[in-house]
Amino acid sequence: MATTDEDTFLEQEGCYVALTNSPLNLQSIVDRVRSPQAGAIVLFAGTTRDSFDNKPVKELQYTAYRPLALRTMLAICTALRAKHALKGIAMVHRLGVVPIGEESILIAVSAPHRQAAWRAGEEALEECKARVEVWKREEFEDGEGVWRANRDGVRGKRVG
């Protein structure tokens, strides 16, 4: 596990995972998975919305147990890389305060063909939300806050 001031990351054979307190960089994660053998790169950017159930959201706050979260993220990426014959997969989750309109998670996947990239990208997100040791607190404009499960889909069910 490598660490800089605010970043912690792991890399292994075409897989890169990181946790950071800094704003996320879309181009940087795409560059991490770019390959001359890849005909497709899929990028998912999870962004903080301004409301939940019509209640104005001020910001999201994320916390994690870094060593375990990184190992879980790497296990997900390694399994998906093998399952879908990916050229690269990267997953970066932001911690701390994430203001409205900013990204809290980026997932980039490269594969020889688009079908594998699309499938792997969706699976990576669902697995991350279901398994990674990251916790989310929604802070509302009225001063209230609530801890939420870090998932909003139904595992194994494709979005409609």
pLDDT tens sequence across 65-101: 999 999 999 999 999 999 999 999 999 999 999 999 9
pLDDT band at 148 (very low <50, low <70, confident <90, very high): confident
32 in a labelled binding site = no
Three-state secondary structure call for residue 25: coil
Report if pTM > 0.95: no
pLDDT at 149: 76
The residue ranges of every structural domain in the chain are 2-145
137 in a labelled binding site = yes
Q: Which amino acid is it at 74?
A: L
Indicate the CATH number of 2-145 among 1.10.3470.10, 3.90.1170.40, 3.40.47.10, 3.40.720.10.
3.90.1170.40
Q: What are phi and psi of 5, to 5 degrees?
A: -50, -50
pLDDT at 17: 99
129 in a labelled binding site = yes
